[in-house]
Amino acid sequence: MIIDATFWVMVSFFVFLGLLIYFKVPQKIITLLDENIENIKNQINEADKLKEDAKNILIEHEKKISNSKKEVAMMINKANEDAEKNVIKTNQDFHNLMESRKKNSEERIKQLKNQAIKDIKNTSVRIAIESVEKLFKNSLDKSKLDKIYASSIEETKLALKKKSS
């Protein structure tokens, strides 16, 4: 048997393996690897839990956004309805105001017309009285004057009755 360097390499290799087994290095490596595997599994499980939580939160927020959009749409619709109601109410108020002003104007015109008629009647009566006074002053015959006076008063009364009716 020739003992050469390869033999000693082989012997030292087996001694090395024996020492590793004696000091339980493979078991320690397996334990370390198992711990690392377990640690990685825990991290993966925790990541999965976080992922599920994130999905739940996302779904919840999407629901909130959807509800918010619905509420905004409802608020916009309500605002539009209120605006339409306000426009209609304002328009109605405006028409009522104009109708009221029209009635007031018509009443005022009637009052002015009646006042004008009264003024015309008063003026015509005053003119008639002045005419009668002139006739009295200018006439010589009292009986003739009485006739003219009576006929003038009758004519004035008839004219006033015609105008007032």
CA distances from 81 to 18, 69, 87, 155, 163 (A): 91, 18, 10, 69, 57
pLDDT (tens digit, 9 = 90+) per residue, 113-163? Answer: 999 888 888 888 888 887 777 766 665 566 776 777 778 888 877 877 776
pLDDT at residue 48 in the model: 95
pLDDT at 60 over 70: yes
pLDDT attached to residue 1: 59
Q: Please check whether residue 38 lies inside any domain of the structure.
A: no
Domains contained in the chain, number: 1
Distance of alpha carbon 96 from the chain centroid: 24
pLDDT score, position 135: 65
Selection from 160, 89, 73 nearest residue 124 by Cα = 160
On whether residue 109 sits in a domain, the answer given is yes
For residue 131, the one-letter residue type is: S
CA angle 29/30/31 to nearest 5° reads: 90
Please report whether residue 79 resides in a domain: yes
Tell me which residue range forms the domain holding 103: 52-164
% of the chain exceeding 70 in pLDDT: 91
